[in-house]
Amino acid sequence: MSDRLIIFDTTLRDGEQAPGIALTPGEKLTIAQQLAALKVDVIEAGFAASSDGDFEAVSNIAREVRGPVIASLARCHPDDIDRANDALRHAEKYRIHVFQSTSAIHMERMLRMSPDDVMKSVVEGVTRARGYVDDVEFSPQDATRTDPEFLIAVCRAAVDAGATTINVPDTVGYATPTEFVELLGQVYAEVTRGRDDIIVSTHCHNDLGLAVANSLSAIHAGARQIECAINGIGERAGNTSTEEVIMAVKTREDQYGVEIGADSRQLFDTSRLVSRLTGYPVQFNKAVVGRNAFAHESGIHQHGVLRDRLTYEIMDPAAVGQSGTQIVLGKHSGRAGFQDALNKIGVSLEGEDFQRAFNRVKELADRKVEINEEELRLIVSDTPQGENAVQFVGMHVAGGHDITPAATVTLLLNGRQESFSGTGDGMVHAAFAALQQGFGVTAGLIDYRVVPVTAGADAMAEVNVVIGVDGNTYSGRGIDTDVVEGSARAFVAALNKSVGSKPKEA
């Protein structure tokens, strides 16, 4: 058995299926490039047959991203498999990942197919995929609620038809570590039958909060691939979290005894990028990448850590890219200081983008005394990039219990400043109405969340919005010391996406 654990990252496929996430093909490419920098082994770039947008995203990633194997999901349908192959064929290395449901409830209620028909479709699907590429993965969906005898028979048939990876999904997050180890052990013994070219894999959902524990426990039963997503995003309660798996096998090498190729120092940046583009905040106490993951609050802990970090820290913050760099920018910071701070967080900005972000830092520093590393990262990511983006210039709002809330927003459109007004139930609503005027679109608000970035009354707020325009969803993020202005900035980011970053005709 190999000692190498394959990290199969599905942030862009299962992760993107999480409610309210709507990544553009360009954003998916940015995440895929970061996943390549993290050196995951496989990037599941999407489900090519599911939409034109997903097809475009998978093909862009296949063309541009080098290093990891690029995979697309496909049902056991000829059209799906052909479409996956079309999207992937320019990749350096690629994999077609076919799946079919095998539990009684899925076969009877959802597919309305008999076990024999399911078996036939798996053999046909895997055979068709194998006609295109040698690297084929098969997943029996809802494996943990499938009759084990049927599960083994389907997986064996998939291997006989040419599948090289057999993935065991706990689709509904139902398994416990003890039974998952038992099931994986059975699959490993009875499906690979001693063949070390067949990899057994896990894909665990987190409905009972057991996804990471289940996945890791399967290593003891012979699993050598774990499917996971950055920040644990995914359907419902999410997937196994990539950063937790990577750091668990690194930190407890004595327990797991497997090697990984991932560069854990990229974890923090990857987590923040995914959070920013998906609009899903990272919970403060999130293992490995949460902002409190290395923060020591109590006096006893602080005292211990100051004497020797190892008294209360099992991982070095630098090992996950939380370098502890002390960055403080204030209103007296100049361009050189700003450039130096950007270098420290590994961000490169040029020309207009540099100037815009610098102006924004100065503007915020005038209102708030100091800007720390976390805030700088958000400011930089919040600054509209690209020539065509409509820029938020400023706003006035008025409201109170006896007057109708009203907002006037000023935007930079086609190089000219223009103001637009709107009213609403509250000041955020009024700003949203004014911005829709400015962009000339009608949008619905699907999700709205405010998270404080740092503690204190002068803290900056991070606002995440998801809007719906013409049946499509777009996310945006804005930060500001003022929640209404942060909300307006988030709407501008989402509205820019909805118009493809093109201002309406004057």
DSSP-assigned states of every residue in 164-180 = SEEEEEETTS---HHHH
Q: Does 180 bind ligand KIV (CB under 6 A)?
A: no
* Minimum CB–partner distance for residue 292 and ligand KIV (Å): 30
Closest distance to Zn ion from the beta carbon of 200 (Å): 17
Q: What is the DSSP string of 46-97?
A: E-GGG-HHHHHHHHHHHHH--SSEEEEEEESSHHHHHHHHHHHTTSSSEEEE
In the complex, least distance from residue 46 CB atom to Zn ion, rounded to whole angstroms:
13
Smallest distance from Zn ion to CB 268, Å = 25
Task: Choose the contact partner of 322 out of Zn ion, ligand KIV, none; CB within 5 to 8 A by kind.
Answer: none
Question: What, of Zn ion, ligand KIV, none, does residue 432 touch, CB below 5 to 8 Å by kind?
Answer: none
- 373, interface contact from Zn ion, ligand KIV, none, CB < 5-8 Å by kind: none
Q: Which amino acid is at 464?
A: N
What is the number of the residue whose Cβ is closest to Zn ion?
Answer: 14
Phi and psi at 197, nearest 5°, equal -90, 0
Q: Which of 319, 310, 171 is CA-nearest to residue 248?
A: 319
| Residues 266, 268, 271, 277, Cα dihedral to 10° | -90
**Does 201 participate in binding ligand KIV (rule CB under 6 A)?**
no
Instruction: Compute the chain's Rg from CA coordinates.
Output: 24
| 203 scored as a contact of ligand KIV (CB under 6 A) | yes
CB of 73 to ligand KIV, least distance (A): 6
Q: Is the dihedral of CA 506, 422, 458, 273 positive or negative?
A: negative
Q: Which two tokens stand for residue 489?
A: 């900035």
Complex with Zn ion: residue 111 or 483, whichever CB lies closer: 111
Integer Cα distance of 226 and 155 in angstroms = 17
295 vs 243: CA distance, rounded Å: 18
Q: Is 264 in the site for ligand KIV (CB under 6 A)?
A: no
Q: What are the two backbone dihedrals, phi and then psi, of residue 433, each rounded to the nearest 5 degrees?
A: -65, -45
50/171 with CB nearer ligand KIV: 171
Binding of ligand KIV by 16 (CB under 6 A): no
Regarding 137 and contact with ligand KIV (CB under 6 A), the answer is no
330: part of which helix (H) or strand (E)?
Answer: strand 329-330
For ligand KIV, the binding residue among 50, 146, 164, 171 (CB under 6 A) is 171
Q: Binds 50, which of Zn ion, ligand KIV, none (CB < 5 to 8 A, cut-off by type)? A: none
Q: Which two tokens stand for residue 170?
A: 């706990």
Interacting stretch for Zn ion, rule CB under 5 A, among 9-17, 280-288, 340-348, 492-500? 9-17
Question: For residue 152, which of 182, 186, 121 has the smallest C-alpha distance?
Answer: 186
**Minimum gap (Å) between residue 26 Cβ and ligand KIV:** 24
Number of residues that bind Zn ion (CB under 5 A): 1
DSSP letter assigned to residue 308: -
Helix, strand, coil shares of the chain as percentages rounded to 5? 45, 20, 35
Taking the least distance from each CB to Zn ion, the nearer of 14 and 54 is 14
Indicate the residue among 15 and 405 with the shorter CB distance to ligand KIV: 15
Site size with ligand KIV, rule: CB under 6 A: 9
**CA of 290: how far to CAs of 3, 172, 208, 304, in Å?**
29, 26, 20, 21
Q: Which of 9, 14, 244, 375 binds ligand KIV (CB under 6 A)?
A: 14
In the set 11, 72, 141, 242, which binds ligand KIV (CB under 6 A)?
141
CB of 12 to Zn ion, least distance (A): 13
- In this structure, what DSSP letter does residue 500 have? T
Q: Are strands 444-452 and 416-423 parallel, antiparallel or unpaired?
A: unpaired
Among positions 11, 72, 139, 192, the unique one binding ligand KIV when judged by CB under 6 A: 139
Least separation, in Å, of the C-beta of 335 and Zn ion? Answer: 47
CB of 73 to Zn ion, least distance (A): 9
Contact in structure between 431 and 457 (CB atoms under 8 Å): no
What is the closest distance, in whole angstroms, from the C-beta atom of residue 16 to Zn ion in the complex? 11
Identify the three-state secondary structure at position 372. Answer: coil
What's the CA gap between 96 and 90, in Å, rounded? 13
Does the footprint of ligand KIV cover residue 99 (CB under 6 A)?
A: yes
Find the shortest distance in angstroms from Cβ 161 to ligand KIV: 18
Residue 14 is a binding residue for Zn ion (CB under 5 A): yes
Residue 141 binds what, of ligand KIV, Zn ion, none (CB under 5 to 8 Å, by partner type)? ligand KIV
Window 55-74: contact mask with ligand KIV (x via CB under 6 A)? ------------------x-
Between helix 351-367 and helix 335-344 the angle, nearest 10°, is 100
When the beta carbons of 225 and 473 are compared against ligand KIV, the nearer one is 225
Gap between the Cα atoms of 97 and 199, Å rounded: 13
DSSP three-state, residue 387: coil
* Residue 169 interacts with ligand KIV (CB under 6 A): yes or no: yes
Binding site for Zn ion (CB under 5 A): 14
Binding site for ligand KIV (CB under 6 A): 14, 73, 99, 139, 141, 169, 171, 203, 205
